[in-house]
Amino acid sequence: MGSLFEIAERIRGAWEEKNAARDRAILLSREIIRSCALSMRAVHRDAWQEAEAYLRNAQQQLRAMCETLSPYPDLLSSGYVQDAAKELTEASILLAVARDEPLPEPESLGVEFAAYLNGLAEAASELRRRVLDLMRQDMPAECERLLSFMDDVYDVLVTMDFPEAITGNLRKNTDLVRGVLERTRGDFTLFVRERRLRRALEEVAARLDADERASPT
């Protein structure tokens, strides 16, 4: 049997290694979140290659974080790990939807289901910015496509009626999606009405101009 001091020293050594792994994972989590934020900014500028590059970097960092924490399964469920996974999911889905491509699956991203669904919710909310940009570019068909996706996301999320301990606070994010969706739909409805009115006025002006040119002087 070891002495008290030998046991304590062994525990201290193990905890020092665990704490070092935790510190590295926290640093990687911050880098992942930063890379994902930069990727989403690139998506809003339609800078696809730049967005992909930031995403690849984030994916590599997530793998490194999981490898760092693999000896410590209890740390893999920590908030900073889940936040990083959620941000990676959000950025990946935003890029796929913006380019009208198939959605990445949780397994391909290497994230748990709760992080995936929360990232999906945040991606749907982030699409509001893109819809508003597209309205300014007078692209109603693309706006409708994105609104339809946001509707589908909300319809899926409201069916996930499970305890918060399982879903990772998904109910709160679902409520946020509903609010963002309602505001965006209202903005788009107003945009469509104003667009129709503008076109109707332009047609009237064109007819009046044609009649004026056709009338004898």
Band (pLDDT 50/70/90 cuts) for residue 151 is: very high
d(CA 58, CA 29): 9
Q: Has residue 56 been placed in a domain?
A: yes
Taking CA atoms, 208 is separated from 197, 203, 217, in Å, by 17, 9, 15
Q: Would the pLDDT of 211 be above 60?
A: no
The reply to whether 97 and 131 lie within a common domain is no
Q: Has residue 75 been placed in a domain?
A: yes
The reply to whether 96 and 29 lie within a common domain is yes
pTM over 0.75? The answer is yes
The reply to whether 179 and 96 lie within a common domain is no
Tracing tokens 């945009």 back to the chain, one arrives at 191
The reply to whether 82 and 187 lie within a common domain is no
Average pLDDT for 150-177: 94
Q: What is the pLDDT of residue 215?
A: 65
